[in-house]
Amino acid sequence: MAHIVRTCYLALIFVIMSPLVKATIDVCKRGDVTVEPSRVLPFGSAVNISCSLKPKQGCSPYSNFNRLSLYKLHQKIKFQHGHSLSSQVSGLPLGTTVFVCKLACGSSEEIQICGAEISVGVVPEQPQNLSCTQKGERGTVACTWDRGRDTHLPTAYTLQLNGPKNLTWQKTCNDYYCDHLDLGINLPLESPESSYTARVTTISDLGNASSFPSTFTFLDIVRPLPPWDIRIKCANDSVSRCTLQWRDEGMVLFNRLRYRPSNSRSWNMVNTTNAKGRHDLLDLKPFTDYEFQVSSKLHLYKGSWSDWSESLRMQTPEEEPSGTLDVWYIRQNTDYRKQQISLFWKNLSVSEARGKILHYQVTLLEVAGEKATLQNITEHTSWTWVIPRTENWAVAVSAANSKGSSLPTRINITDLCGSEALCGNGDGKLND
């Protein structure tokens, strides 16, 4: 059963493929098509196309029975009775145009005799702006250029690099739009000042053109790899001395650093020489989210800067608060001997807090002896207490984070009833 199925399958393939094979064999079996002066033409040129039957391949020995037709794509442009036909064609568009010669016998259907493809293009322009780079000290040499206008023809681009001791490297691409090539070789580190010359040549059936030579050294074209392993260390967990560290390729002599708070669009820039992968940053703000990047260069005047490294994002350590709290109070008499004091204060700004405020410390003092009567810690921005009316009091409030406390804000609690001003009497009414 399997044998029968396989036999039927092969027979089916033969049936499908037979017309294709026959068509291939029959192409130009009955006649020829010739093109003068060439099948590849400059734009604007005219061409002569001739179609002729081979002996004994016509309808009959009498030429009047043979009607030859010439088609441009699918449009008939000329027909003639006989054994041959010739036509001059002009105004061909850029690109490839197909011409086909067909034969008809009397009123019968036309059969294809032969055909030709005619390609129209322009002469290659001289490649411009040839530039070569090597990415990293051990990368490969890659060059780019402006290829000029499209030739509309198959075109080859050959890049050649000549070096010391008559060394030559070469690579070719066959592509209409080729404008770059990687030679797959790297210039040696040991001779950074040795001179190399690159040139690119473009070739088509209509001509060729070469770029001006580009001469360079290792230091001219090597673009270092971006620095990696970026990190930052702050001595004693203090923002006053933080060191940015990174890793570089061996020949790097120059670095540029940029950093900014995460909420800022503008960068702080620093240029360093022979940094050996570290630089102290002395102007960072505490408890601030920063973004850091580093770039590298081999020579001050030659070559180009690397890409920026991947960003390092981190928050700087806290410092003790630098500001003082804005504090006010409300005093209310509860009876003839006691009064209620309610204190209020604003949060410190981010730049003053210099960290996460953990709590506030409230200290109540007797003014006469400067003796602390009460100390209290609260996470809120208000505090209420009842104190005697017979003493003079002061209150000090400070904010604390993990590194320390702000300078206390001190205010005196004044008994307004002892003066000619108005004061509260505890029941919401005001007395003289």
Domains of the chain: 26-121 (2.60.40.10), 128-222 (2.60.40.10), 232-315 (2.60.40.10), 327-431 (2.60.40.10)
Query: What pLDDT, on the 0 to 100 scale, is given for residue 13?
Result: 34
Distance from C-alpha of 159 to C-alpha of 180, rounded to nearest angstrom: 9
Query: Among 239, 268, 242, which Cα is nearest to 354's?
Result: 239
Identify the residue whose tokens are 């690109």.
Answer: 95
Convert 280-303 to b/e letters by CB count within 10 Å (16 or more is b).
ebeebebbbebebbbbbbbbeebb
Q: Return the H-helix or E-strand segment holding 297.
A: strand 289-297
pLDDT along the chain (432 residues), means of 10: 36 36 57 95 95 84 79 91 91 95 83 94 96 95 95 95 93 90 93 94 95 96 96 90 95 96 95 95 93 96 95 94 92 88 93 94 82 84 88 90 93 58 34 34
> For position 241, what pLDDT does the model report?
87
Closest CA to 255 of 232, 233, 228: 228
H/E run at residue 374: strand 371-378
Report the phi/psi class of residue 37: left, alpha or beta, with left for phi > 0 and alpha for psi in -120 to 50.
Answer: alpha
Compute and round to an integer the Cα radius of gyration of the chain: 46
Q: For residue 367, give the nearest of 413, 330, 409 by alpha carbon.
A: 413
Mapping DSSP onto H, E and C, the string for 15-33 reads: HHHHHHHHHHHHCCCCEEE
